Amino acid sequence: MKLIELTPLDLSIAALLVLALAALSWRLRLGVERRLLVAATRSVLQLMLIGLVLKTLFAQRDPLLIGALALVMLAIAGYEVMARQEHRFTGAWGLGIGTLSMGISAFSITLLALQLVIRVDPWYTPQYLIPLLGMMLGNTMNGMAISLDNLTQNAWQRRGEIEARLMLGQSWQQAIGDLRRRALRAGLIPIINAMAAAGVVSLPGMMTGQILAGSPPLEAAKYQIMILLLIAAGTGFGAIVAVSLGAARLFDERQRLRLDRLR
């Protein structure tokens, strides 16, 4: 089946629905209409821009350009992890923890998938690398943002309990161990729910896109299974690295709780 192309008129119909939602938000005094419209505008501009960029990359297949785009995606994802936290780490750590964690988890798992699972040649073929890396970064970003926010908020609220444990002779790992486990569980809940509901409650995005593009449903399901499993692994490993780095940053070399490293 040939892919049905969307016209600007088709997209404008969808945009009118968002405008109607913004108007309803204003009428109900929800206070989110401005953020809703800004987010919708940003998504349209960003997606159109990345569409033009990918069109160029697909034509040239220049490894340097592909690598530059991948690094830009990583840097933006690292910033978004920091921006979503109520209590952020100060200095370079605020951006560095999320960026480093995603660099370790999302990049390594994406390369593993390209080399051993999909076996695309060359491995940096942009039609495979960029969409797969984008899905990995987007989902690991959410998991790490939730985990770090949960860790820092609980450390801030329960600082008296943590300091009491330190005074009783516990190491910093023991004093904050329960908070670390709670933060990791919170970060993994979204991907666990997504896997549990896949195919029953919803058809995930990649499978839906492939089916709309004309791919056989069973083949689309195979790709979606691969993506969900990779995202689960990437989210878990990334959250573990992020929470470990964040927890260590909350203490100094003398094992004192340093909440002044948060803002």
Which residues pair with residue 262 across a beta bridge? 89
Evaluate whether 242 touches 104 at the Cβ level (below 8 Å). Answer: no
Tokens 């936290």 identify what position? Answer: 85
Nearest-CA neighbor of 181 among 150, 141, 145? 150
Per-residue pLDDT of the chain (263 residues; tens, 9 = 90+): 566 777 888 889 999 999 999 999 999 888 889 999 999 999 999 888 888 888 888 887 788 888 888 899 999 888 888 887 888 888 888 888 888 998 888 888 998 889 888 888 888 888 888 888 988 898 888 888 999 999 999 999 998 999 999 999 899 999 999 999 999 999 999 889 888 888 776 667 777 777 777 778 888 888 888 888 999 999 999 999 999 999 999 998 888 888 888 88
**DSSP code at position 122:** S
Distance CA 162, CA 68 (A): 42
